[in-house]
Amino acid sequence: MSATFTSPLAEALAEPLLERFLRYVRVDTRARRDTGVTPSSPGQRVLGVMLAEELRGLGADDVELDANGYVTAKLPTSSATTGATTVIGLIAHLDTSPDAPGAGVEPIVHRAYDGGVIELPTGATRLDPATMPELATKAGHDVITASGDTLLGADDKAGIAAIMAAVAHLRAHPELPRPGLAIAFTPDEEIGHGASLLDIERFGASCAYTIDGSEIGELQDETFSAVEVLMTITGVDVHPGFAKDKLVNALRLASRVIAALPADALAPEVTSGREGFIHPYAMEGSAARAQLRLIVRDFDDALLDAHVALLEAVAHGIVDDEPRATLDIQVREQYRNMRLYLAESPRVVEAAAQAMRAEGIEPRREPIRGGTDGSQLSGRGLPTPNIFDGGHEYHSVREWASLQEMAAAAATLVHLCEIWSTQ
Ligand SMILES: [Zn+2]
């Protein structure tokens, strides 16, 4: 066995997994904001059709691609399973981030990476281990990148490939005991819709795992609690030549709201660890009407509410001073910290930790400064922690993945099945 692999099982899974991964990343599944339809981009359905076909080819039952682009399938227990009644879910998302180009991905496999700077052929994109501490530890790995002008899409096609590789292995080895498996590939996770239309009852699992983390060993049972705020300020627009004492400029008011928010605290650029933030990420409009979009995040629900209250107070303090202007604030809940829900079924996270140890990996339990499909699913009654998938530098043209870590994720899933087969 090559020393870079975590086990002979991971090494055996690696090449078939890579073949799948390279196919999946070539499909442009970049999510689009504000289309009002699911999936938000046609490529997600193209990948869905491909995966449904492959799942049928692997002998999965009840394979379905529904009207919203969700791919679901079941894999029954094997003949070697005695008495297991649990069904566990394996979930990954089809879409890629809208924040980087996603069309025409041309993956490059850098076999036995030498540990130096990787220069990509286009876009003057370089991956420098001096500024990428995780890459610096991957000398000897087979590193996969895009070509420099697109993201790679390991987020989350590494998760999809790991699930498919594990399912193919389990099908080929009926002598391995396994629980019933429910598989879901979901659209539009990156724009906050992932799994919202997954019918949990029909899915039929008593717990699930998203394969959507990054560095090997990541096991995440805690995410942000998250809301989105849409603020609309209406002013009074008048021809600027005749505007004296009449014009009320909505854009100026919106700019003052942003300027009045804390800048040396409670902003993503100055916070880390368990600190929350208020983040204005889009402003558009005219003198007549301005719209401000913000996200608010914290690990603690009471603090999250306090940040929203602060934001509302700041905005009202500025806009209410101008009686001719109006202010409308819409607060939309996105997801809640999954910790509260997972604490009720500690066995779910414990089984994942045990599966990683069986693969020789020490689990790293760190809160995610973000959300996963599992944040929402856990809140809806399906406890769903998150497992690493070996991809890195997500949402950027520098995105890369380690084949050894992707294979370790697939091997971890095989162990996870063995552990649940006796529950
Ligand atoms: Zn993801």
- What is the pLDDT, as a whole number, of residue 182? 98
Give backbone dihedrals phi and psi of 418, rounded to 5 degrees, phi first.
Answer: -60, -40
Q: Which helix (H) or strand (E) holds 203?
A: helix 200-203
Ligand 1 center from residue 320 Cα (angstroms): 40
Residue 244 has pLDDT above 80, yes or no: yes
pLDDT digits (tens, 9 = 90+) for 145-201: 999 999 999 999 999 999 999 999 999 999 999 999 999 999 999 987 778 899 999
Percent of the chain with pLDDT over 90: 91
Ligand 1 center from residue 196 Cα (angstroms): 15
Q: Answer for the pair 256, 365: CB distance below 8 angstroms, yes or no.
A: no
ω before 363 within 30° of 0 (cis)?
Answer: no
Residue 133 has pLDDT above 70, yes or no: yes
Token pair recorded at residue 174: 């009926």
More confident residue, 121 or 370: 121
Ligand 1 center from residue 30 Cα (angstroms): 12
- What is the pLDDT, as a whole number, of residue 334? 87
Query: Is 95 assigned a catalytic role?
Result: yes
Ligand 1 center from residue 99 Cα (angstroms): 13
- What is the pLDDT, as a whole number, of residue 260? 98
ω before 156 within 30° of 0 (cis)?
Answer: yes
pLDDT digits (tens, 9 = 90+) for 319-362: 999 999 999 999 999 888 999 899 999 999 999 999 999 999 99
Residue 62 has pLDDT above 80, yes or no: yes
Ligand 1 center from residue 355 Cα (angstroms): 21
> What single letter denotes the amino acid at residue 90?
L
Catalytic residue of the set 189, 190, 399, 418: 189
- Round to whole Å and give the CA distance between 174 and 332: 46
Catalytic residue of the set 11, 28, 54, 95: 95
| Predicted confidence band of residue 392 (pLDDT cuts 50, 70, 90) | very high
Instruction: Give the chain's mean pLDDT.
Output: 95
Ligand 1 center from residue 115 Cα (angstroms): 26
| Predicted confidence band of residue 84 (pLDDT cuts 50, 70, 90) | low
Task: Name the one residue in this structure whose structure tokens are 């101008």.
Answer: 322
User: How much is the pTM?
Assistant: 0.89
Query: Is 11 assigned a catalytic role?
Result: no
Ligand 1 center from residue 248 Cα (angstroms): 42
Q: How is residue 336 annotated by DSSP?
A: -
